[in-house]
């Protein structure tokens, strides 16, 4: 137990302790206790949680759970009016000695342990790229007889209360744009200034391709559990800062038709004694055999990974040809149309890595990093050869050439079906459980049905007059 946390509470006159945990989909929940109640006894016994009231956790007949504070993971609440210390927690069943199978943070911790057993002395490092849109307003209606949405983005050149969305040929106009076109430089800096005291490292921030307010904050390399914490907390901080500025931040993969979508790319590699295990200057794309086998595992299991990496119906409106989002499971050096990119600027012994590009921020970062690691480790174990790196633009290949390259799923339902058919690499290590996969698939399939059964505004434009 970290005793320094109690010193901080005393020295900084903390009034409340906010115990935070994430549900199965990665959304935050919290319970707040007065600081005087937060002692070693509470840290050992935990705080009761009704798991049946949390999405994807427990049924009413077996809902009692305990939230155990992780005294190593805490920070000063950046938004609370009263001095408050936030402490992340782990969930366990009442009377259990180990973590809860559907607690995604526990899944990521198990994945790290599995890597330690399988490959002695190695650990994984992850760098997430968070892309999102900032809108002036977002109105949503989903009632029978009245359904639709309205987005206002003055950065896009709003006219009469409507966003003027650029035409297709101007898609990249927003990339690295400067003021006055970039209205949000100071807001991104404010977001980063809040991330730093929370312990989330930032590499840089910039305006992204979409000129209707698409932004990126790129975090820096972290271990897996810390990465899961960092992504979830960064989303929470970004949304709170935007809200306090009277704006709306959304991590939807494709909020605007015809505009650039928002992804959550994960740079990743295995490291031992400060050297990338993926590095070999004589290997294909400067990747070692281990690195190539890891890529082979991601390609082999890429369709199943989509159920965690791209877990919303909206995800598959981003993963379409013509944009920088990938649609095929291939790897390349610097080619952003492939699912896996080997950054051409990072091919040294200390930083050779790969970037997995299909994920978006509707994912649970704990689960998707664990799943990617297990896919890569399966590739290493089975020595899966990914072949030669792709050099051509995927969108310029013929249908015959494309036929040799496996495609990502085109819908959430297709991704869930792929996970059902290919889940052994997740289960054999004990990191994922049948219980977790069944719950995930059932909940996501219900989402898919709910969206597919509702009339869409475009359907009225196409069919109402027929």
- Give strand pairing partners of 216: 131, 206
Contacts of 92 (CB under 8 A, 6+ apart): 46, 65, 66, 68, 98, 99, 100, 103
Long-range contact list for 182-188, CB < 8 A, 24+ apart?
A: 182/207, 183/154, 183/155, 183/213, 184/134, 184/155, 184/213, 184/215, 187/134, 187/241, 187/242, 187/245, 187/247, 188/215, 188/217
Residue 185, CA distances (Å) to 20, 206, 210, 403 in order: 30, 7, 15, 43
22 phi and psi angles, rounded to 5 deg: -105, 145
334 phi and psi angles, rounded to 5 deg: 75, -5
Relative orientation angle of helices 302-309 and 412-421, to the nearest 10 degrees: 130
The token duo for 153 is: 């983005």
Peptide bond just before 451 cis, omega within 30 deg: no
State the Cα angle at 40 between 35 and 43, rounded to 5°. 80
Residues that are catalytic: 50, 129, 131, 208, 216, 265, 336, 355, 357
State the Cα angle at 397 between 391 and 403, rounded to 5°. 105
With beta carbons less than 8 A apart as the criterion, state whether 289 and 300 touch.
no
- Give strand pairing partners of 140: 149
CA atoms within 13 A on the CB side of 270: 25
């Amino acid at each position: 137990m970290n005793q320094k946390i109690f010193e901080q509470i005393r020295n900084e006159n903390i009034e409340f302790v906010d115990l935070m945990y994430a549900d199965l989909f990665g959304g935050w929940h919290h319970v707040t206790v007065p600081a005087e109640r937060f002692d070693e006894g509470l840290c050992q016994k935990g705080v009761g949680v009704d798991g049946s009231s949390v999405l994807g956790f427990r049924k009413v007949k077996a809902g009692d759970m305990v939230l155990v504070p992780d005294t190593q993971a805490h920070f000063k609440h950046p938004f609370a009016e009263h001095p408050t210390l936030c402490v992340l927690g782990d969930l366990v069943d009442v009377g259990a000695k180990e973590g809860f199978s559907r607690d995604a943070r526990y899944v990521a911790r198990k994945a790290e342990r599995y890597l330690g057993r399988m490959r002695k002395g190695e650990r994984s490092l992850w760098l997430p790229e968070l892309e999102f849109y900032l809108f002036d307003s977002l109105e949503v209606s989903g009632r029978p007889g009245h359904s639709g949405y309205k987005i206002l983005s003055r950065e896009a050149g709003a006219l009469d209360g409507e966003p003027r969305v650029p035409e297709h040929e101007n898609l990249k106009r927003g990339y690295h744009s400067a003021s006055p076109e970039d209205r949000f430089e100071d807001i991104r800096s404010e977001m980063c200034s809040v991330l730093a005291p929370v312990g989330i490292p930032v590499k840089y921030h910039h305006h992204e391709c979409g000129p209707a307010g698409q932004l990126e904050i790129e975090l820096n390399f972290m271990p897996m559990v810390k990465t899961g914490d960092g992504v979830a907390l960064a989303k929470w901080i970004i949304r709170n800062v935007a809200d306090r500025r009277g704006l709306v931040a959304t991590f939807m993969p494709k909020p605007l038709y015809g505009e650039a979508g928002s992804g959550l790319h994960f740079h990743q590699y295995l490291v031992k004694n400060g050297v990338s295990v993926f590095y070999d200057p004589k290997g294909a794309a400067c990747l070692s055999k281990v690195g190539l086998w890891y890529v082979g595992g991601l390609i082999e299991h890429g369709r199943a990974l989509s159920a965690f990496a791209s877990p919303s119906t909206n995800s598959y409106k981003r993963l379409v040809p013509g944009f920088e989002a990938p649609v095929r499971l291939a790897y390349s050096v610097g080619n952003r149309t492939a699912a896996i990119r080997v950054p051409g600027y990072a091919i040294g012994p200390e930083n050779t890595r790969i970037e997995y590009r299909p994920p978006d921020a509707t994912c649970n970062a704990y689960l998707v990093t664990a799943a990617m690691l297990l896919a890569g480790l399966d590739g290493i174990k089975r020595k899966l050869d990914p072949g030669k790196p792709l050099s051509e633009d995927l969108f310029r290949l013929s249908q015959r050439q494309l036929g040799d390259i496996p495609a990502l799923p085109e819908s959430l339902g297709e991704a869930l079906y792929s996970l059902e058919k290919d889940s052994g690499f997740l289960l054999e290590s004990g990191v994922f459980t049948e219980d977790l996969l069944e719950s995930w698939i059932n909940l996501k399939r219900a989402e898919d049905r709910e969206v597919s059964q509702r009339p869409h505004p475009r359907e009225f434009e196409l069919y109402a007059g027929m």
